[in-house]
Amino acid sequence: MKTIISHKTPVSRCPHCGAEYLPGELYMPGSLIGQPDEVIRDSFGKIIYEDYNSADREPCMEEHFICEYCEKPFIIEATVTYRAKEEAPEKDFTTAYVSLLD
């Protein structure tokens, strides 16, 4: 009998033997998104300068890995997408409703 497991996170497979890995096994979360030491924005919020004090703080989207099953090397390349959405406007019940009558 086969048990089918549904994964919450995307699975990467070794290109040689098909062994499966979860992103958390291949990447240190911090190394994937990086940790900037300095970010400077202009008055409109556009980033004009970013600095990482050391190479291990820079985002690293490519990871070299050796398969634990077939012991062959392979490269994992991450694609990270962030979407910014508008927050739904919440009704504010803390201020009294005012209706103007004239």
The binder of Zn ion chosen from 19, 33, 60, 61 (CB under 5 A):
19
- Residue 13, interface with Zn ion (CB under 5 A)? no
CA distance 33 to 83: 15
- Residue 60, interface with Zn ion (CB under 5 A)? no
The binder of Zn ion chosen from 26, 32, 61, 70 (CB under 5 A):
70
Residue type at 100?
Answer: L
CA 24 to chain centre: 11
Q: Tokens standing for 91?
A: 């009704």
Q: Which residues bind to Zn ion, rule: CB under 5 A?
A: 14, 16-17, 19, 67, 69-70
